[in-house]
Amino acid sequence: MYLPSLFAVKDLPVLQDFMEQYSFGTLVTRHADELIASHLPFVLDRDAGPNGTLRGHLAVRNPQLAHLASGAEALVMFQGPHLYISPSWYATPHNVPTWNYTAVHAYGLPKIVDRDALVELLKDLVQENEKSFEQPWDFDSEASWMQALLPQIAAFEIPIEKLQGKFKLNQNRVAADRARVIEVLSASQDPARRQMADLIIQASYPGFR
């Protein structure tokens, strides 16, 4: 993606935290002049490889499965908070609207994994997403009805070869403009605006990246 250095985030733990927090990503592949995107939940194995490894699954009827088996490079996009920024919020005049946003792109060569790895992935997904529930649902891979469903999906892994992080959070504005935007967003009752204010504050620290 277009990545001006001012907006680039290269700190690996920051990028990995982001992928875990916003783990529902978009898988994009190209094979034989066909471009396909699927929207999928991912599990990140932080310690598998220098940048980590993404694990996911999709329906065996999804034609993208053939892309994953072809050995072609895949891109997984993760998107976090984003927000319209009005020029009326700046302290200085003669500005135009913009959009603040956060995104991470992960690139790598996917591979299809076996049934045991599929079951392990599903266990991890369920555990992560059920852990806050008072009565978490129990994933029983040995149940006969579950055994009948498992062949309908396939699991894959993508060792991350390249990571790009772009957090566009008014870093290109003068301090007075950033302060004014933070003031406006922090005063809002909208949780999305308040969250963006916090992100702009974080991005103002030299050690952010």
The pLDDT of residue 67 is above 90: yes
Confidence of residue 16 (pLDDT cuts 50, 70, 90): very high
Mean pLDDT for the stretch of residues 36-40 = 97
> Percentage of the chain with pLDDT > 90?
93
Mean pLDDT for the stretch of residues 13-42 = 96
Domain borders along the chain are 5-80+101-170
**Annotation: CATH topology of 5-80+101-170:** Pnp Oxidase; Chain A (2.30.110)
In one letter, which amino acid is 191? P
Whether the CA torsion 17, 21, 22, 28 is positive or negative: it is positive
Mean pLDDT for the stretch of residues 19-36 = 95
User: What Å distances lie between residue 53 and 31, 45, 50, 92, 102, CA to CA?
Assistant: 22, 5, 9, 44, 21
Q: What pLDDT score was predicted for residue 207?
A: 52
The pLDDT of residue 94 is above 60: yes
The pLDDT of residue 208 is above 90: no
Report the chain's mean pLDDT, rounded to a whole number.
Answer: 94
Q: What pLDDT score was predicted for residue 136?
A: 93
Confidence of residue 32 (pLDDT cuts 50, 70, 90): confident
Confidence of residue 206 (pLDDT cuts 50, 70, 90): low
Q: What pLDDT score was predicted for residue 71?
A: 87
- Do residues 74 and 107 touch, judged by C-beta distance below 8 A? yes
Mean pLDDT for the stretch of residues 25-43 = 95
Strand partners, 34: 31
Confidence of residue 176 (pLDDT cuts 50, 70, 90): very high
Q: What pLDDT score was predicted for residue 204?
A: 77
Q: What pLDDT score was predicted for residue 33?
A: 87
Mean pLDDT for the stretch of residues 34-42 = 97
List all residues 6 or more positions away from 151 whose beta carbon is below 8 Å from its beta carbon.
Answer: 60
User: What Å distances lie between residue 121 and 102, 139, 150, CA to CA?
Assistant: 27, 11, 12
